[in-house]
Amino acid sequence: MLKKINRFRAQDFLNKNPEISKRTDFFTVKGFRSDKNNRFSVVLSKKNINSAVLRNKLKRLIFDLLKPYLDVSPYRDYVIIPSPKIKKDFSLEFIESEIQKIMHLIN
């Protein structure tokens, strides 16, 4: 799990226009300008994954995979939204490759 200073609430950015927005088959990432450091938020709806245990497990997994991207500049706040397709393939290797793919598209 990321430190508190590297996480934020996505509700603060719902009505703002993102600086960057990229989409793959399994993730959507929106980037907003930030002055301090890179911060991340993962948004999973109950509609997509019913089980709270699976939602929390997926959030923790994604946060752990984002640790290498904390010091990448320019600094932004990233909102990561997994698509409903993600529940079909919930393996570490697959999610890791998708996170790498989407973060390389953005940077």
Q: Please, what is the average pLDDT of the chain?
A: 86
pLDDT value of residue 42: 92
Q: How far is CA 50 from CA 2, 22, 64, 76, 79, in A?
A: 24, 26, 22, 30, 21
Confirm if 58 and 104 have CB atoms less than 8 A apart.
no
d(CA 27, CA 48): 13
Q: Tokens 């927005």 belong to which residue?
A: 21
- The alpha-helical segments, DSSP class H, found in the chain are 52-65, 92-106
Q: Does residue 13 have a pLDDT over 80? A: no
Q: Please, which residues bridge with residue 27 across strands?
A: 82
Task: Give the tens place of pLDDT for each residue, 46-93.
Answer: 888 888 998 899 999 999 999 988 888 788 889 999 988 887 767 889
Rounded CA-CA distance 63/3 in Å is: 10
CA 68/CA 93 separation, integer angstroms: 16
